[in-house]
């Protein structure tokens, strides 16, 4: 299978590319390297450095000629979306539109696009199913939800099947621990450096933490599914990719203490704008339709992440 991965030099994308190549697939990468790293690019992958919102995208996709497109390129920072919502929408909505059009024009049979738990906003109850009400709390969540509609508008009725994969809170090797990286990477790096991690808010806010290897497994399962993934209904093409488990930040910090061997303090600061109190996604639909389930226990994933970060810092 010829698989094109946008954002293939980033955290999730590079993990996916290396797994696909080890499985015997031909893989292409499109990445502008704004947040991804050239060091993540597998030497056996076809690679083009370009912006998905730029005019060169369609020709590059046509040149590679993918059977399937996995769209992971995105603006993923909530604080950045608050500072510059126009840029956030340009990348996440118009960039997705451009990728969908290019995939259709190149004759790809399927496009998978990364969406987010952020589309749901503050939940009334958890775990959330795909049809749960959606009230995004920030421009990032709004743009990811709009991107789902854009994919449907561009691809429904065409020869290109599609799905939006709503990732829970992903963590693991190759995640950036600097700046606005994921909380697992940030806490782990701080503890490795014997610096006190900072929990914003009470620490009782929960997240559904999923190891990047399980995300890769879900994408690979979706690539292989026979029949259409874009089922009828507004949320028909959407799939929660998650564990379904709530872990609060105090629990996460305690688990990391044991993993890293950190015995210093844990500090608290005021809650940040746009933070969600509880989050967990029900993965039943993905379990049943994709034949996939998350398998990495939190302790195992934290251990692998800590080992990788200890080498990289």
**Active-site residue list:** 140
Residue 207: Cβ within 10 Å count: 22
Q: Which residue has the tokens 């030099």?
A: 9
**CB contact at 8 A, 303 and 147:** no
Distance between CA atoms of residues 169 and 298, nearest Å = 12
| The pair of three-digit structure tokens given for residue 164, joined into one six-digit string | 């939006």
**Alpha-carbon span 313 to 261, nearest angstrom:** 16
Query: CA-to-CA distance for 262 and 254, rounded, in angstroms?
Result: 9
Helix (H, G, I), strand (E, B) or coil at 53: coil
Q: Rounded distance, CA 51 to CA 57, Å?
A: 7
Contact 109, 68 (CB under 8 A): yes
Bridge pairing between strands 68-71 and 110-116? parallel
* Cis peptide upstream of residue 158 (ω within 30 degrees of 0): no
Q: Across the strands, what pairs with 114?
A: 165
Upstream peptide bond of 123 is cis (omega within 30 degrees of 0): no
Of 96, 90, 98, nearest to 114 (Cα)? 96
Q: CA–CA separation, 168 vs 12, rounded Å? A: 13
Residue 117 has a CB neighbour count (10 Å cut-off) of 25
Q: Which helix (H) or strand (E) segment is 151 a member of?
A: helix 139-155
């Amino acid at each position: 299978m010829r698989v094109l991965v946008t954002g293939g030099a980033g955290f999730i994308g590079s993990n996916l590319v290396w797994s696909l190549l080890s499985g015997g697939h031909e893989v292409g990468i499109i990445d502008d390297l704004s947040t991804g790293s050239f060091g993540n690019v597998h030497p056996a992958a076809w690679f083009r450095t370009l912006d998905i919102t730029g005019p060169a995208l369609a020709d590059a996709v046509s040149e590679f000629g993918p059977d399937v497109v996995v769209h992971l390129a995105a603006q993923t920072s909530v604080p950045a979306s608050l500072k510059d919502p126009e840029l956030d929408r340009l990348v996440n909505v118009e960039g997705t539109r451009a990728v969908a059009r290019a995939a259709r024009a190149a004759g790809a049979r399927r496009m998978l696009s990364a969406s987010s738990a952020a589309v749901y906003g503050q939940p009334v109850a958890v775990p959330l199913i795909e049809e749960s009400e959606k009230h995004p709390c920030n421009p990032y969540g709004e743009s990811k939800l709009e991107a789902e509609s854009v994919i449907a508008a561009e691809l429904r009725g065409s020869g290109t099947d599609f799905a939006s994969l709503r990732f829970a809170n992903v963590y693991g090797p190759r995640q950036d621990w600097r700046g606005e990286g994921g909380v697992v990477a940030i806490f782990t790096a701080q503890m490795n450096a014997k610096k006190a991690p900072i929990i914003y808010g009470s620490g009782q806010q929960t997240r559904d933490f999923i190891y990047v290897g399980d995300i890769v497994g879900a994408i690979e399962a979706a690539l292989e599914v026979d029949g259409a993934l874009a089922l009828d209904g507004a949320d028909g093409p959407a799939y929660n990719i998650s564990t379904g488990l709530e872990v609060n930040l105090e629990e996460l910090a305690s688990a990391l203490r044991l993993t890293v061997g950190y015995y210093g303090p844990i500090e608290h600061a005021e809650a940040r704008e746009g933070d969600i109190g509880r989050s967990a996604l029900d993965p039943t639909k993905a379990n049943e339709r994709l034949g996939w389930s998350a398998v990495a226990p939190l302790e195992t994933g934290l251990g692998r992440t800590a080992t990788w970060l200890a080498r990289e810092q």
